Amino acid sequence: MTATTAAPTTWTPPCRPTETLRITGHDQGAGVSDFFGAAITSYQWAYLITPDRIPALTRLPGGQDGDDVLALLATYHQHTGGQLSDIMNHPDATAHVSNWHS
């Protein structure tokens, strides 16, 4: 997340190893308007990671197989000032992204 005023990122874990991981966020405020223009004040996004990519996603921020991917991503998110796109767009993760603004 890059905006100065942002709603919390939502981490939705898969219930079973065969389910997709979904991470959503909602950015609001001056940072959004600075990036998109004055008429846009809100930006929402979602990353979807298929089950076959979760092991790679766990390793990208330094984890090992069996580590809690959500805890690793939350720590990475905090240490990088809200950055997730570099990991999500990494060829080993290839998360599907959706975004919209208003």
Q: In sequence order, what are the residues at sequence separation of 6 or more whose Cβ sits closer than 8 angstroms to the Cβ of residue 66?
A: none
In this predicted structure, what is the pLDDT of residue 13? 57
Task: Give per-residue pLDDT as tens, 31-82.
Answer: 889 989 999 999 888 999 998 999 999 999 999 988 888 899 989 989 988 8
Q: For 9-36, write each residue's pLDDT tens digit.
A: 555 555 455 678 888 888 888 888 998 9
Model pTM greater than 0.85?
no
How many domains does the chain divide into? 1
58 burial via Cβ count (<10 Å: 0-12, 13-18, 19+): buried
Residue 46 structural domain: 5-101
Instruction: At 36, give phi and psi (nearest 5°).
Output: -100, -20
Q: What is the pLDDT of residue 3?
A: 32
> What is the reported pLDDT for 8?
47
